[in-house]
Amino acid sequence: MGRDKGWEMSRSRLEEALVLLCVGLGLFIVVIDVTIVNIALPSLSRELQAPFATVQWVVISYTLMLIGLVPVAGRLSDILGRKKLFIAGQLVFAASSLLAAQSRTVEFLIFSRVVQAFGASLISSNTLAIISDTFPRGRRGVAMGIQAILISGGAAVGPSLGGFLVTHFGWPSIFFINIPIGILGAGLSYRLLPDHQVRKKGERLDWIGALLCVFGLGALFLGLTEGAEEGWSALPMALLLFGVLATAVFVWTQGRRSHPLVDLTLFSNREFAFGQLAGVLAMITLSGVQFLMPFYWQSLRGLDAQTAGFLMLPLPVAFMVISPLSGRFSDVFGSRGISTLGLTLVGFSLWLLTALDADTPIFSAIWRVFVLGISLGMFMAPNNNSIMSSVADDRRGIASGLLAMFRYTGQSLGVVIAGVIFNVSLRHTSTASLEGHGLARVLSALPSGGRLPTEVGLSFSRGFQTVCWIYLPLVLLGAFLSSRRNRS
């Protein structure tokens, strides 16, 4: 009897590990593709003979479509089933990667990236839902911690892997590598993923809501992106206005649909709503710092790209070490306390980062960033555990989709906020060559190992410190919201 019970427990743990393997393969390539393409932009611009402003759309189109599509994909998984959509997402991702690798024009590459984003949305909107379906309370936090490792690890590996592939095999290789991984992941998912039947009969997709969501959020974040880099001219302001109106209409219609795309009653649950808002504020901080630190090491400190990449590792390494531990603690002690403590420490980390400038000793800068990684690792897995445990089984798809959407939203807002602050700082310099140029364009134009002029370097330091001061109250607001959620 005891032996049979032990065998059943071992088999259950093995099945859970195999589910994590399947989910991990899909999630890893999606996260890597958010960052891996950045390193290839100069090669793409040169070989496809396209201006930098056009090539940027290879990245922008992917991110914008992800933000708009993940809630739609999450809702579809509640209606049609998570397993089949997760597998479909991997196959679409692999097929669109083949299209991207074969592109001969930048326009076709951008189209391929839009298709790739559709596949990525089917994958990323289902990962947490599948984990929540598979892992019971008490073991779910550890699984969420491993999922956080994959996100952080993919973001850390992406630039380094992209640089290696582009240098030795050319830019198409960054897309070719997705094909065997996607096919392998789809095959393993077909054989190993359980087919949880939690959907309700008679429910259908709100197509009008889906269109409003995709175009509204897309226009909103496109306007923010263009305005931050190119200035707040008529076009970005028009996009912002359209995005706000479309999103407002979307929210208004969702409360009047019998089968809405987004069940607004989810946000009446404090554990769900406050967790999502706290997660956005944390992602703003993470993405903003990750966006700025490569420029800090290379443009302000004059280090080469390889050294800068190595010095970027402490943040994701700390995040990866702490995430499964914090997830396990959330299983035992609940999510509220540890996630609130984590965000409070993120605020402390930002205060430490306000001291960084061109003369800060390298070790001093590294340990400050390491503390930020530990703090974020304490927050992410318990927060995701709390959010996904607060919804009914048949709403886990849309909950997972919304969590992914808010994650990508925070990533975009973090970069936009940093860009706006830095562009304001640059306009206060008297260097004529910088007039009319945004942060990314000015800093990307420097050669590897080149340093900013002294006056611009001072503006960079002030801008970096200002970003940290602005993020600090946002994070403390997130900590307050986290503390007000229900116990879980």
Residue extents of the structural domains in the chain: 1-203, 206-260, 264-488
Q: Which of 17-31, 166-180, 428-442 is the most confident on average?
A: 166-180
The average pLDDT across 435-464 equals 62
The secondary element (H helix, E strand) that includes residue 156 is: helix 140-169
| pLDDT of 364 higher than 70 | yes
Most confident of 336-350, 392-406, 416-430: 336-350
469 pLDDT more than 70: yes
> 3-class secondary structure for 193-205?
CCCCCCCCCCCCC
Q: CATH homologous superfamily of domain 1-203?
A: MFS general substrate transporter like domains (1.20.1250.20)
369-375-381 Cα angle (round to 5)? 130
CB contact set of 294 (below 8 Å; sequence gap of 6+):
308, 309, 312
Exposure letters 18-35 (e unless 16+ CB within 10 A, then b): bbbebbbbbbbbbbbbbb
- Report whether CATH 2.60.120.620 matches the domain 264-488: no
Asked if the model's pLDDT at residue 430 lies above 50, the reply is: no
- Determine the pLDDT at residue 115: 93
Long-range contacts of 184-188 (CB under 8 A, 24+ apart): 184/25, 185/22, 185/25, 185/26, 185/29, 185/90, 186/87, 186/90, 186/91, 186/94, 188/18, 188/21, 188/22, 188/25
Predicted confidence (pLDDT) at residue 382 exceeds the cutoff of 60: yes
Q: Do domains 1-203 and 264-488 have the same CATH topology?
A: yes
Q: What is the pLDDT of residues 284-320, one digit of tens each?
A: 888 888 778 877 887 778 777 667 767 878 888 888 8
Mean pLDDT for 260-284 is 85
Comparing 222 with 487, the larger pLDDT belongs to 222
Unique residue bearing structure tokens 């980062």: 353
Q: Which range has highest mean pLDDT (87-91, 139-143, 252-256, 452-456)?
A: 87-91
User: What is the rounded CA–CA span in Å between residue 183 and residue 296?
Assistant: 39
| pLDDT given at position 433 | 47
Report if pTM > 0.75: yes
Indicate the burial class of 412 (C-beta count within 10 angstroms; 0-12, 13-18, 19 or more): buried
pLDDT band at 7 (very low <50, low <70, confident <90, very high): very low
